[in-house]
Amino acid sequence: MTNTNWNVLMPLIFYFIGVFVIGFYSMKFVSKASIHEGEENGFLSEYLAGGRDLGGFVLAMTLVTTYLSAGSFIGGPGAAYTFGMAWVFLAMTQMPTGYFTLAVLGKKFAIVARKINAVTITDFIRARYKNDALVILCSISIVAFFIAAMGAQWIGAARLIEGSVGIPYKIALVFFAITVLMYTTIGGFRAVALTDTLQGVIMTMGTIALFVATIHAGGGISNIIQKMHAINPGLITPYSIKEGFATKAWVTSFWILVGFSVVGLPSVGMRAMSYKDSKSLKNGIIYGTVVSMVLILGMHMIGAFGIVVVPGIGSGDLVVPTIATKLFPPWVAGIILAGPLAAVMSTVDSQLLIVVGAIVNDLYANYINPRIKNNAKGMAKVSFVSAIIVGILVFMTAFNPPTIMVWLNLYANAGLISTFIWPIILGLYWKRANTPGAFASIITGVGSYILFSKMWPRPLGMHTIGLPLILSFIVFFIVSLSTEKPSKEIIKTFWGV
């Protein structure tokens, strides 16, 4: 601790205090909800869905900050530092993600969620497919893949604190873990949404400040590009310094992972069922697209330009904290670094709630102890304990991190997408979608992704996720058509006919 940069650490501590204040403010809503009996107006509706009253700006901020995480603010710039402008080009495929997600799920998902009283994605799966085994499979997938995803986020946060403040990685990990667990556990979804809004503003301001400072330190964009070309001409091409890295087929299919398929992420889908009204949805789409563009382009350009501004960094994941501490006075650097730290926190808190929802609402309350559904205080206790246990598991996952955490994050997201995308989209819009089709799709998608990632990482030149999603869609379609139609009850619930 003798090398700790307290001038950088203190602004981060004040930021953490602000987050705690929001958590304790939100706790009163959770406490009030816990006195109601029943699920619809009780604890879980508030804790997991925040009362479904998000306005447009809050919706945009919580959606963008939930998706744009350590992968976009730590791992993404780290990859851009390694591969050059090719990774910036890849990253920009994420820009319309918020718009696309809300446009695809939009009104129908929110209306259906209210109609069936769904507070988690698996609530939707349960009502749409009426199969306990499918619900259990989806819940287990959420727990397994989200623990891996959260591990990636915690790694990014600890490295950020380590690189900027001088605290050893494992101490930084403990510091971050305690903070996130406390405000998420006590405040639930409302605390997450409100802190996401604060974090979105901080992320945007920090990104702009860091981007401008990086360009100035490099002598302007033209000078930076010339120096990158002198280092390696491949750094300024869309094909990267590594031959065959960014082929047209791979780039196109990469958008499937970070753009289209994000609809299948439970943490993102939850936002589409939690807004207040149509005006909030429209405003959320507009705000979300603009903020996404600023954050994604800014942070990844910073990473690529860091090749010139801060050459010779051992790990690309340290490029953002290194640039911040080099270009700004320590106390200003601390304020700016709250931006990428906010990005990590805003994703982790959402993922933690999804896992708690899967454990408590989808598994424990339905299959282990159904009587607890009408015991709001009991549900609260189980939820809090579950959050702590999950936090410990994630901490163990992040204790010995990989070199570049972006790959762990992408792997976890691909697993979640392979599980949920077609059961959600086809279940929402295709009347013929049924339980056998959903089962076949999940098994095919997850199984082929795991197999291909080990034996055929670029099937037909595409990103690993591309072919598994195509195969799982085909299987879903064929199996659904060749098996029994959904019941009239399901059709009436979801289509009203």
Return d(Cα 109, Cα 96) in angstroms, integer.
19
The residues with which 54 forms a beta bridge, in sequence order, are 275
Query: For position 329, what pLDDT does the model report?
Result: 83
pLDDT of residue 30: 55
Nearest to 413 by CA among 149, 175, 134, 151: 149
Q: Which residue has the tokens 């405040």?
A: 187
Instruction: Evaluate whether residue 123 is within a structural domain.
Output: yes
Give the separation between CA 64 and CA 94, rounded to whole angstroms: 10
CA torsion sign, 395 to 264 to 196 to 364? negative
Query: Do the domain assignments include residue 224?
Result: yes
Please report whether residue 409 resides in a domain: yes
Question: Using CA atoms, how far apart are residues 203 and 206, in angstroms rounded to an integer?
Answer: 5
* Average pLDDT per block of 10 residues along the chain, 497 residues long: 68 76 66 50 53 63 64 77 85 71 73 80 90 91 84 79 80 84 68 70 83 93 93 81 65 72 73 70 76 86 92 77 83 74 72 82 82 74 85 83 59 82 92 96 91 83 84 96 93 84
pLDDT at 157: 79
Confirm whether 430 is domain-assigned: no
Report if residue 159 sits inside a domain.
Answer: yes
**Euclidean distance between CA atoms 197 and 205, whole angstroms:** 13
Q: In angstroms, rounded to a whole number, what is the distance separating the alpha carbons of residues 270 and 181?
A: 20
- In the prediction, which pLDDT does 133 show? 93
Domain that holds residue 43: 6-413
Closest CA to 492 of 248, 130, 237, 147: 130
Is 226 within a domain?
yes
CATH no. for residue 369?
Answer: 1.20.1730.10
pLDDT at res. 471: 95
Task: Output 167-174 pairs: Cβ under 8 A, ≥24 positions apart.
Answer: 167/1, 167/4, 167/9, 169/401, 170/399, 171/1, 173/395, 173/398, 173/399, 174/395
Establish if 29 belongs to a structural domain: yes
Q: What share of the chain is helix, strand, coil (3-state, %, to 5)?
A: 80, 0, 20
pLDDT of res. 385: 86
- Locate tokens 């598991």: which residue? 393
What are the residues whose beta carbons fall under 8 Å from the beta carbon of 356, sequence distance 6 or more? 48, 383, 386, 387, 390
What pLDDT is recorded for position 485?
A: 93
* CA nearest to 421, candidates 262, 274, 258: 262
d(CA 121, CA 273): 9
d(CA 253, CA 461): 9
One-letter amino acid for residue 241 of the chain: I
Integer Cα distance of 296 and 89 in angstroms: 10
Domain count, the chain: 1
50 and 274 Cβ atoms separated by less than 8 Å: yes
* Domain-embedded: residue 483: no
The C-alpha angle with vertex 173 and arms to 168 and 174, in degrees rounded to 5, equals 105
Sequence-distant (6+) residues with CB within 8 A of 216 are none
